[in-house]
Chain A
């Protein structure tokens, strides 16, 4: 029966533990830290400058609430000119943080693990070629050339893949990997 005297002791101990931890946990008063997504890409901007002068075309898609309920805002500054070659530069930003973070730099640093793909809808008279490459001389594509043909309309889609198969045959299905960005612009050549 002597051992039974341990019981109240044990309970007191446990109650003490219970209470102690209760006292510790006063974080309700401490405000949690806000998390701004670090890797999210909110903005894709494609600046297309015609070789030999003319109107610079800017394609932009911006989704400030990420996977929140708002759709991305898509803006197209104007129409492409016929039979023109444009030098294209892609910029990726995270605008949820201030100042905005330039994600293009990160992508270019990890060029072996990334690749942009340009998908042209049937009917749109456009051809593209890569203008920058990774360490293994496979395409990266944050810089590219775009050559227009005769007047037409159609979707121009930019897809950034993370960890695609490299080299690949230039199609999304062959490359695999994960989509970091997929943005379609309905463009016109006139």
Chain B
């Protein structure tokens, strides 16, 4: 909305005659609801590039104005922007009132307003304040607090967001305007983002935001840097976090300098260190974390143009539960049948193999320019380097050598144009060029899990939205992508022949090494994705959205090229060279009620995915190490149906109640069986006491109930146990029982000085130290999940 207004005002232009120009326009910006002053509101005089910011009392003053009529745009972080026409004749005083959204009312501010990324899909947003609670945890933990989002975990540190039942390559993560290319294909590869760099997180459940990609079958997570106001200021914050579970903590600090000429710079860093975590009854040996992150950005932000340079570095060392590293099916039987992990050692901060070491560099240059007749043009170049090392337990000279060493470099250049609103229509269009190169270091002494490849992408998109009248608006968009993958892959000759590739693709072989062949597949994918939808405001409080999106996702390198033993899963994984792209049709409906006492939104959806790529067990492979289960990727037709529900009720002035419920069902329609790893139904209920007068004291008691997943495919298999001479069933599929956790959180502010504020937060998760296992934790076979955790956070703003 702000943008629309701004551009309308820009277009309207102002004609003035040069004359006596030393008048002052002064006044205040107030909250339209209660008349309280709004600080840091920005006032822009259209066409003149004059801008100013209101002070702590909401007051502002604009000098050197002439006697004439000015168009002024006023905006504030928490408000809808508003345009005014002001006649200046002598020193003039004026009060501007803005509609201030009560952002703290909901745990999650459901944003259906027009300033969202899409117009017809409901978006969920986590504010800076909400994110600060997760300073010592991960992006996945924070997203988990949104209804319809769960996570696929490997232990307690590798947390991948699962949106409406889908994860990995089906969830696109945008970090500061850059699409993360951090080997997101792996189920045990967590997003390489420091949550402390995010000023806000927006979640779009679906592929509707085509400017970010057409392959977000599950959804899109957008992490945005905090806004920096155009004014002379230096400010910062430091968050110190200590946790009892893991006996560690994190320290994150941020310092920002801004000038009223538009220049700004911001420096941020985080260090996080935890030892072994603990379940209620035992130590989870080798689950420590050591994370170091830093980011820097600087740029110029003017009303009409601006640019920014950004660099971030992320480095993470994560221990993988020692007891989860097992040799074969017989070990698996022992591990699963044991009620406690087979390896429990004393608490330590040391991180040994099996472990991961990941480093991610991100460099971005971006700029924008607003053209009066055209709109806003954005250009961006970014470079990412992701290096992933995985260490297994090895023998002899190789003991300290990584088993996997992949370096993924990605360059992307994009150009986007967002048009001015013309006759209530806004058009966005853009082009993207991408180049990616994966290098698998052969010095590991282990065959490459992901082959060397080069990938080139070209994408173009256009979206448009039109406000028919005050109640109805429509949106539509289309995107084309072309992907070329040039791969150099060594296949085992035995596998190459068993798949009949030697007959189907003899031309791909460029060199024969006897037991292995070097092949050069060149794969191309042309994909179309689209979105369309409507939104309808029934009245001031009730709103209705409907969206259809078509998403197309080319298969990822793991789905195409996996071929061999995956140690962390103790199974042989096989990809398929012949895969085509996945096509998803998602219909989503939202009905929303927003008012002061009772709010709710209900969001049913159906996602039908053709050629859905699923991995499932097919047989047992005998090897000299014993038997292993073989998991093969295959394509099928899948369908996901679900509903997400959010509700909040303001009981009294100080007391509010929040409710969330999500359920999703996933089916393989070709074989008529349930899909694996679909989150179980879950509900969160929270009662919050809040008192502004008592130093913003806030106390919340949350109940989190996760049902038992009752629909799952049978992936059990039998293994021969030489000791008994019998075969024994390996039960990999039965989901763990339902569980109920109680969490407590409290928060209080202390004013240290005029400009600095101390915020203290105490959070206790799993208050009753309940033992439980989570269906979506890949290590659930081997150990219980986390026990009680007492977490103290101190935040100082200065």
Contacts and interface: CB of A to CB of B under 8 A. Distances in A.
A18 B395 contact: no
Nearest to B492: A68
A78 to B, nearest CB: 22
B398 A32 contact: no
A120 to B, nearest CB: 8
A57 interface: no
Contacts of B572: 67
A65 B515 contact: yes
A173 interface: yes
B51 interface: no
Interface string A1-22: 0011011001101110110011
Given A7-B369, A61-B624, A109 B326 contact: no
Contacts of A177: 327
A15 B381 contact: yes
A178 B327 contact: yes
A122 B726 CA distance: 10
Contacts of B305: 3-4, 7
A159 B413 contact: no
Interface string A149-177: 00000110101011100000001110011
Contacts of A155: 722, 725
Interface stretch (A33-41, A47-55, A81-89): A33-41
A182 to B, nearest CB: 4
A56 B451 CA distance: 46
Q: Which of B448, B451, B625 has the most CB of A within 10 A?
A: B625
Given A106-B396, A179-B330, A179-B625, A122 B486 contact: no
Contacts of A3: 300, 302, 305
23 contacts: A11-B381, A13-B365, A17-B381, A18-B413, A22-B411, A25-B435, A28-B486, A34-B513, A39-B445, A41-B625, A62-B624, A67-B621, A67-B623, A68-B494, A70-B498, A72-B622, A106-B396, A162-B327, A172-B723, A179-B326, A179-B327, A179-B328, A182-B327
Nearest to B396: A106
Contact of A35 (B300, B398, B444): B444
Given A6-B307, A18-B413, A180 B625 contact: yes
Q: Which of B444, B447, B510, B627 has the most CB of A within 10 A?
A: B447
Contact of B495 (A7, A68, A181): A68
A166 to B, nearest CB: 14
Q: Which of A35, A172, A183 has the most CB of B within 10 A?
A: A35
A182 B383 CA distance: 47
A60 to B, nearest CB: 11
B439 interface: yes
Contacts of A109: 396
Contacts of A62: 624
Given A32-B490, A155-B725, A69 B411 contact: no
B731 to A, nearest CB: 17
B354 to A, nearest CB: 11
A35 to B, nearest CB: 5
B569 interface: no
Contact of B396 (A27, A68, A110): A110
Interface in B504-526: 510-511, 513, 515-516, 518
A50 to B, nearest CB: 24
Nearest to B365: A14
A181 B624 contact: yes
A178 B326 contact: yes
A69 B494 contact: yes
Interface in B379-410: 379, 381, 383, 393-396, 398, 409
Contact of B621 (A14, A69, A180): A69
A190 interface: no
Interface in B300-343: 300, 302, 305, 307, 325-328, 330-331, 334, 342-343
Contacts of A13: 365
B375 interface: no
Contacts of B394: 39
Interface in B423-455: 435, 437, 439-440, 442, 444-448, 451-452, 454
Nearest to B517: A34
Closest CB pairs A-B (n = 5): A179-B327, A182-B626, A38-B445, A157-B722, A14-B381
Contacts of B84: none
Interface string B530-570: 00000000000000000000000000000000001100000
B628 interface: yes
A154 B724 CA distance: 12
Contacts of B494: 65, 68-70
Interface in B484-507: 486, 488, 490, 492-495, 498
Nearest to A156: B722
Given A31-B518, A163-B393, A178 B624 contact: no
A14 to B, nearest CB: 4
Contacts of A35: 442, 444-448, 490
B768 interface: no
Interface residues of B, number: 69
B720 interface: yes
Contact of A64 (B331, B510, B515): B515
A63 B572 CA distance: 15
A109 B444 CA distance: 22
Nearest to A38: B445
A110 B626 contact: no
A188 interface: no
B186 interface: no
B367 interface: yes
B454 A32 contact: no
B454 A171 contact: no
A177 B442 CA distance: 28
Given A70-B494, A122-B725, A10 B446 contact: no
A101 to B, nearest CB: 10
A166 B305 CA distance: 70
Given A10-B365, A27-B439, 9 more contacts: A31-B510, A33-B442, A34-B518, A35-B447, A38-B445, A65-B493, A67-B621, A180-B395, A184-B720
A180 to B, nearest CB: 6
A164 B325 CA distance: 13
Contacts of B439: 27
A122 B413 CA distance: 68
Nearest to B333: A173
Given A25-B454, A37-B445, A67-B565, A159 B395 contact: no
A34 B343 CA distance: 36
A47 to B, nearest CB: 17
Contacts of A68: 492, 494-495, 498, 564
Contacts of A18: 381, 411, 413, 435
A13 B621 CA distance: 53
A44 interface: yes
Contacts of B369: 4, 7
A159 B722 contact: yes
